[in-house]
Each structure stands twice: as C-alpha cells, then as structure tokens.
Amino acid sequence: MKLVRFGPAGAEKPGLVDADGALRDASALVPDIDGAFLSRLDGLALDDIGALPIVEGQPRLGPCVTGVGKFIGIGLNYADHAAESGLPVPSEPIVFLKANSCLSGPNDAIRLPAGAAKTDWEVELGVVIGQVAHNVRPADALRHVAGYCIVNDVSERSWQLEGTGQWTKGKSADSFGPIGPWLVTADEIADPQALGMWLEVNGVRKQTGSTATMIFSVAEVVSYLSRLFTLHPGDLITTGTPPGVGMGMTPPQYLRPGDRVQLGIDGLGAQGCAVITRDTARPVTAPA
C-alpha cells in the first residue's frame, strides 16, 4: 500500500495510491498518516480502496508521514561513500539527528539558507517505525517497521564539517528533509537490502547505488538504535547514501539556486526539487 499526504503545506489530507496509480482521498477513513495510524495499520480494513474518492488534478504532495517524533540519520553507511569522504569505514553505526522541522514534501523547493556555501545532496532509504522498538534483536527488527520512503538528506557541508563541525547543525535547515512521494508499507518491499537508487542534478547522473551495499542493514540499524533509545511509531530513520555526493567530486560540486535535483529508489517512486535561495534579499555567500 502506498500512503500519501496531499494538499497545501500545513493542511495536508491523508491519501492512498491505488493499483492504477490514482490518488484517492482517505480522510474519511483516517485522520492523518502519523504514528498513531501506523501503529494500528495491521488491524485496519483498507481493502475497499476503490470506494474512496479520486483526487483530481495534481495536488502538492506533503511529507508522507507527519508527527515525526525523531528524525534519525545514519552516517557513512556505504563503504564506497566513506572512501569518497576520506573517512574510515565505521565499526558501528554513526548516529545523528535531523531537526524534524526540516521535513518537506518530495517536490517542494530546497531553500538554501543565508550563509550556506556547500549544500550537498544524498539519496537515502527512509525507514518509518510502526511499532514500539526497545532493545530488539536484528532478527525481529523488521517487524517494527511500518514502511519505507525516499529521503534526500540535504547537507550543508560547511556547517557539518567546518568550524565546530556538527552533523545535526549541517543537516537540519528548513527544507533539508524532503521525504516521499509516498510511504510504501513494509509488506510491499520484499527485501529492503535489494533496492536500486539514483540521483541526478540538472539531468546529470550523480549517484547510482543499491541498498545491497549498506554496511549495516536496515534490521541491524533498527536493532542498534533500539538499544540506545526507544523507537516509537512515526519515528523516521534515514539510512545513509551511496557514493556520488558533491563533496566527493574533484573539484567538489554543490547546489546553487536554479539547480534541479531528481532522485528515486526502486518501488518507492521519485522526487524532483528545485533549488532556490531562501531569502532573496540576502545572497548566499560563504561565512566571513
């Protein structure tokens, strides 16, 4: 099942995408696509999708899940990406947080904040928790997953790695977390470690990879995090990126106003985001 949220920012409605690709309004069935809904997903009767009204036109798509309590990132989870970053392969998952205020729709603009100079792209597999997970074994971890989505882990490298250098600081600006277009329920993804992924900037392929080359699998990541803190329904984990980020190129390449970023993952759809300056009155320049 493909779960979606559509409509103006802050006033999205829940929806479903049927087998023919039509968007249907599910607001008569559920209040929203959030942790409370996802925690009881297995018990819901959603068989009669064909009776739901079709949404005409092409409405804006919002973040595919709302009420996200924790937006957790896993860094350097692909060995070849660690190599292009000039960093050693981690012996255990590198964990950081993205502010959940950075969440945006899959086709919303990426807004470069004032002072940003090295804004980068990262196509990643997103994992949304559906059941409380505390100290779970890897063998049981996927039972706690509601579904999967695309995440662009947009990163301002100068804030992440220079000065005091803090990953959360470099990855949390408004609009730095496009997710969706939809949340695909776990029953439709036979193996989360067998998904091809890609990203293009202005039509030029930058990233081509597969979740098969993750250092730590989805099950291992969920299990590891559940030993650090309890995971709750609606929590979102973004699991790392394959090689091809701008920072790793020679010379490095970063996003500029007017660029367009497109990305996709097998079975999870695709995103397309324009890059704009957040405040046109203040040009984007390197910090003094």
Q: What is the CATH number of the domain that holds 204?
A: 3.90.850.10
Overall number of domains in the chain = 1
pTM: 0.93
Q: Which helix (H) or strand (E) holds 276?
A: strand 269-277
Q: What is the pLDDT of residue 79?
A: 86
Q: What average pLDDT does the segment 83-101 reach?
A: 90
Q: State which residues form the domain around 189.
A: 66-277
Per cent of the chain over pLDDT 90 is 85
In a domain, 163, yes or no: yes
Does the structure show a pLDDT above 80 at 284? no
In a domain, 175, yes or no: yes
Query: Considering the chain, what is the average pLDDT of its residues?
Result: 93
Could you tell me which residue, 149 or 42, shows the higher pLDDT? Answer: 149
In a domain, 24, yes or no: no
Please state, in angstroms and rounded to a whole number, the distance separating the CA atoms of residues 136 and 282.
48
In a domain, 159, yes or no: yes
Written as one string, the DSSP assignment of 175-223 is T-EEB-S-EEEGGG-S-TTS-EEEEEETTEEEEEEEGGGBSS-HHHHHH
Burial of 286 (0-12, 13-18, 19+ CB in 10 A): exposed
Q: What is the pLDDT of residue 108?
A: 98
Q: What is the pLDDT of residue 45?
A: 59
Confidence class for position 81, pLDDT limits 50, 70, 90: confident
Other Cβ atoms less than 10 A from the Cβ of 225: the count is 23
Q: What is the pLDDT of residue 32?
A: 97
